[in-house]
Amino acid sequence: MTETGFATDPDAEIVERARRGDDDALSELYRRHSTRGYNLALRMLGDPWDAGDVTQEAFIKAFANLRSFKGQARFSTWLHRIVVNAVYDHSRRRRPDPLDDAILDQVAGSEGSRVFSGATVSPAEDGLSPEVSHALLTLSEEFRMTIVLCDLLGYGYAEAAEILGVREGTIKSRVFRARAELATRLREAGWGLPDTRNQRDLDSVTIETPDERSHAPRAGGVADPADDQRTA
């Protein structure tokens, strides 16, 4: 059983009001969590339209089933599980027929077919450089999900573990490997990630405190449920 109880959930009171039919409370829940949910879907799927659909589907499901939320996990954890599941469902449905891949390869070469799905999105819409976006999409779904939760959305390892239903150690291992793989992909793409493998400057191995990382809500006034778990 999880340790995070309803009592410590910053959303508890709003959820309670929403359950009683308070539409304002529903709006508030949406405002508090939709940005994170949407960005999770966006970075996993790489397409704003798909991400919008998935986010919408997940929130509708969550709000329709608020009664089944029993408070064993934080609301945000519960909600993100639903978003995560919606993302996985979507990518399963979307997964192209292998034949399509083969045809695309013939038309555009293997590189062309890989880039194809994300190529319609401009950086302005996406908020992410094409190189980083593409590198992210080449990671395995598992790695991408973990790194999106932990690095992009700032969730603590413990809460990411709870959302994904794996051990915290598994999360850490995935984060480490996903970052390393992403760095390799970026270097391959000529991205300016400094190659520091041969640096000897001791001062570059500074220890970051949790405060040095930006966990503050970055948009939309979204409360960051990971804050107090990160340092715990």
Partner 1 sequence: MNDHRDSEHDKQPRGAESIRAESQGTGDSVGAAGHIEEWEHLALDLLEGTLPPATRAALDSHFDRCPRCRGLLDEQRQVSALLSAVPLMEPPTRIEHNVLRADRPGSAARGLGDRARASRRRSIMRTWLPAAAVLVMTVAAVATYQQAFPRGGEADLAIKGQTTAAEESQDSGAAMSAAPADETTATTSAAEESVLKEQPTTTTTTTTLAPTADANLSVSAYLDALPPGSGQDTPVVLLTMPASDIDSFVVSEVRAVTGLSPLHAVGSSNALVTFAARVARTEIDALVALLGEPGLGVFRFVDRASELTPSLASVVGDDPSAFPLIAATPGEGGGFAQVVEGSDLRTLDDTGYVLVVITSSGGQ
Binding residue (CB under 8 A) for partner 1 from 106, 120, 140, 231: 231
Query: Site mask, partner 1, residues 174-193, x = CB under 8 A?
Result: -xxx-xx-xx--x------x
Query: Site mask, partner 1, residues 65-104, x = CB under 8 A?
Result: xxxxxx-xx----x--xx-xxxxxx--x------------
Binding residue (CB under 8 A) for partner 1 from 7, 122, 190, 205: 205
- Residue 130 in the binding site for partner 1 (CB under 8 A): no
- Residue 200 in the binding site for partner 1 (CB under 8 A): yes
SS3 percent helix, strand, coil of the chain, rounded to 5, is 70, 0, 30
Q: Are 79 and 41 in contact (CB under 8 A)?
A: no
In the complex, least distance from residue 119 CB atom to partner 1, rounded to whole angstroms: 18
- Residue 107 in the binding site for partner 1 (CB under 8 A): no
Binding residue (CB under 8 A) for partner 1 from 10, 52, 118, 130: 52
Binding residue (CB under 8 A) for partner 1 from 15, 39, 45, 226: 39
Taking the C-alpha atoms of 117, 119, 125 and 127 in order, what is their torsion angle to the nearest 10 degrees? 90
**How many of the chain's residues bind partner 1 (CB under 8 A)?**
99
Our CB check for partner 1 shows the closer of 85 and 117 to be: 85
- Residue 197 in the binding site for partner 1 (CB under 8 A): yes
Q: Are 185 and 171 in contact (CB under 8 A)?
A: no
Please enumerate, as own/partner, the contacts of 184-192 that have beta carbons within 8 Å and a separation of 24 or more. Answer: 185/134, 185/135, 185/138, 185/139, 186/131, 186/132, 186/135, 189/131, 189/134, 189/135, 190/131, 191/129, 191/131, 191/132, 191/135
Cβ contacts of residue 98 below 8 Å, gap of 6+?
none
Name the CA radius of gyration of the chain, rounded: 19
Q: Are 159 and 225 in contact (CB under 8 A)?
A: yes
Interatomic CA distance for residues 191 and 160, integer angstroms: 28
Extract the tokens encoding 131.
Answer: 């190189």
Our CB check for partner 1 shows the closer of 103 and 180 to be: 180
Our CB check for partner 1 shows the closer of 106 and 120 to be: 120
Binding residue (CB under 8 A) for partner 1 from 36, 46, 134, 143: 36
- Report residue 140: phi and psi, to 5°: -65, 155
In the complex, least distance from residue 109 CB atom to partner 1, rounded to whole angstroms: 27
Binding residue (CB under 8 A) for partner 1 from 8, 19, 109, 112: 19
Binding residue (CB under 8 A) for partner 1 from 16, 101, 151, 227: 151
